[in-house]
Structure 1
Amino acid sequence: MSAPMIADEVRTASRIHARLLDGFIAMTEQELARLAPGFAEESLLESLERLRAARKSYGTTAGVVVATVTEPVLAASNAA
C-alpha cells in the first residue's frame, strides 16, 4: 500500500506544530526537573505524555520522525 499524498501546506503546518511542541516538551521537562514528588509532578508527567503523543502525530504528518527520545527517568507516585 502506498503512502497518502500530503499537501505541502499541511506538511509545513505540521512541521511548525511539531517544532512548537518540541519547545513545550523541553520547557515541561525543565520544570519537572525542579519539582519535588507530588501532585504537580504527576500532573506535568501526564501533560508530557500528551505532548509527546501530539508531537509524534505531527511529526509523522510532517515527514519528520524523532529517531531517539530522551525521557527523564521520573516515576509518578500513585500512592493509593
Structure 2
Amino acid sequence: MRGFAIESEIRHSCHVHARLLDAFIALTQAELNRHGPGFIEESLSELLEALHNERKAFGAIGGVIPASLVLVENAA
C-alpha cells in the first residue's frame, strides 16, 4: 500500500511541475513575441527549447500531456 501512496505523490508532484512549466513556457513565448531578431530573440528561443524538453520529461514521468500537444494531435 505504501508503494502506491509514493507513486501517487510522485504523479501529483509531476502534475504540479508540469503546470508550472506550462505557465512559464506561455510567459516566455509571450515575451519572445514582443522582440524582433537579435540576441534577446535567440536567448528566449533557446530557453523555450530547454523548457519544452524539461516539460516532456515531466510528462513522461507523470503521464501528463501538455495541452498544446493535445490540441495538435486532436486537430489531425
Following superposition, the deviation at residue 14 of structure 1 comes to 0.5
After the TM superposition, which residues 8-19 of structure 1 pair with which residues of structure 2 at under 5 Å, given as runs?
8-19=8-19
Q: How large is the RMSD of aligned CA atoms in angstroms?
A: 2.0
Gapped regions of structure 1 (runs ≥ 5): 71-80
Gapped regions of structure 2 (runs ≥ 5): none
User: What TM-score, normalized by structure 2, do the two folds share?
Assistant: 0.77
- Which structure is higher in helix share? 2
Following superposition, the deviation at residue 63 of structure 1 comes to 0.8
4+ long deviations beyond 3 Å? 66-70
Percent identity of paired positions between Structure 1 and Structure 2: 48
Following superposition, the deviation at residue 65 of structure 1 comes to 2.0
Aligned residue number for residue 33 of structure 2: 33
> How many corresponding residue pairs?
66
